[in-house]
C-alpha cells in the first residue's frame, strides 16, 4: 500500500496536478486516496527525500517549490553530463533506434503535451543509457523526473508552444549522431538544453516571454 500511495502522489506531483507550493495534509490525502495514514506517511517521507515534498514538523506539508535556483541547478547538471556523454559515445548509438525516435518525434507534433514530454524523457534517457553506468543512469533518471515536472508547469503557465522548436532541435541531435559529427553533436545538445532552460526559467518566474 505504501508503493500504491507513492505511485499516486508521484504522478500527481510530476504531472502538476498538485502544484508547486501547494499545501497538503494527511487527512486530505486519506480521504482522497482511501489509503491509511501509515502507507501515506511512508510515501511522503520517500518523496521528501527525493525533493518533491517539504515536511515541516508540527506545521504542515507542501509540494516542493520550483525556484530559479532549482532550475539552474538542474540544467547545469544536464550540461555537465549530456554533451560529454553523447559526444564520447556518438559512434555506439543504434542508427535504427535513432531513426525510430526521429519518426516518433514527427508523429508527436499531434499528440498531447504529456505524451511529448514522456517521449523527450525516453529519448534523452536512451542517450545516457549507452554508458551502461548504473549510478549515472539512476541520477539522470531523477533529473528527468524534475524535467518533466518543469515542462508540465511551463505548459500550465501558458508557455508558447515549443513543438516545432523541439522537433527541429531533436532532429539536429539525431542528424549529427547519424553522421557521428562530434562538433555538431555537442552544439545541437547544448542548444536544445539552453532552449529548454530559458523556457523553464521564464515559467518559474511567472512570466513567459
Check residue 74 and give its pLDDT: 94
Q: 162-182 as b/e, with b when 16 or more CB fall inside 10 Å?
A: beeebbebbebbbebbeeeee
DSSP string, 111-122: S-HHHHHHHHHH
Delineate the domains of the chain, giving CATH numbers in brackets.
2-63 (1.10.10.10), 68-205 (1.20.120.530)
CA distances from 173 to 36, 92, 113, 137, 176 (A): 47, 14, 21, 20, 5
Burial class (CB in 10 A: 0-12, 13-18, 19+), 72: middle
Cell numbers at 135, concatenated: 549510478
pLDDT at 137 over 50: yes
- The phi and psi torsions of 67 (rounded to 5 degrees) equal -115, 165
Query: How many other C-beta atoms lie within 10 A of the C-beta of residue 46?
Result: 17
141-179 pLDDT, tens digit each? 989 988 989 888 888 887 667 888 999 999 999 999 999
Query: Which residues are CB-neighbours of 4 under 8 A, at least 6 positions away?
Result: 35, 39
pLDDT at 125 over 90: yes
Q: pTM of the full predicted structure?
A: 0.85
CB 101 within 8 A of CB 118: no
What percentage of the chain exceeds 70 in pLDDT?
A: 98
Amino acid at each position: 500500500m505504501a508503493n500504491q500511495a507513492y505511485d499516486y502522489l508521484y504522478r500527481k506531483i510530476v504531472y502538476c496536478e498538485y502544484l508547486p507550493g501547494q499545501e497538503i495534509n494527511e487527512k486530505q490525502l486519506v480521504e482522497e486516496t482511501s489509503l491509511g495514514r501509515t502507507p501515506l506517511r511512508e510515501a511522503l517521507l520517500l518523496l521528501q527525500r527525493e525533493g518533491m515534498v517539504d515536511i515541516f514538523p508540527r506545521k504542515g506539508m507542501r509540494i516542493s517549490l520550483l525556484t530559479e535556483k532549482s532550475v539552474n541547478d538542474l540544467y547545469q547538471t544536464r550540461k555537465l553530463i549530456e554533451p560529454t556523454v553523447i559526444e564520447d559515445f556518438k559512434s555506439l548509438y543504434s542508427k535504427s533506434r535513432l531513426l525510430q525516435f526521429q519518426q516518433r518525434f514527427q508523429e508527436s507534433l499531434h499528440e498531447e503535451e504529456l505524451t511529448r514530454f514522456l517521449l523527450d524523457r525516453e529519448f534523452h534517457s536512451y542517450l545516457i543509457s549507452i554508458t551502461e553506468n548504473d549510478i549515472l543512469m539512476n541520477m539522470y533518471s531523477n533529473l528527468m523526473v524534475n524535467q518533466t515536472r518543469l515542462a508540465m508547469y511551463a505548459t500550465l503557465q501558458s508557455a508558447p508552444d515549443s513543438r516545432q522548436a523541439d522537433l527541429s532541435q531533436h532532429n539536429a541531435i539525431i542528424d549529427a549522431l547519424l553522421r557521428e559529427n562530434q562538433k555538431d553533436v555537442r552544439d545541437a545538445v547544448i542548444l536544445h538544453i539552453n532552449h529548454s532552460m530559458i523556457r523553464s526559467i521564464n515559467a518559474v518566474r511567472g512570466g513567459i516571454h
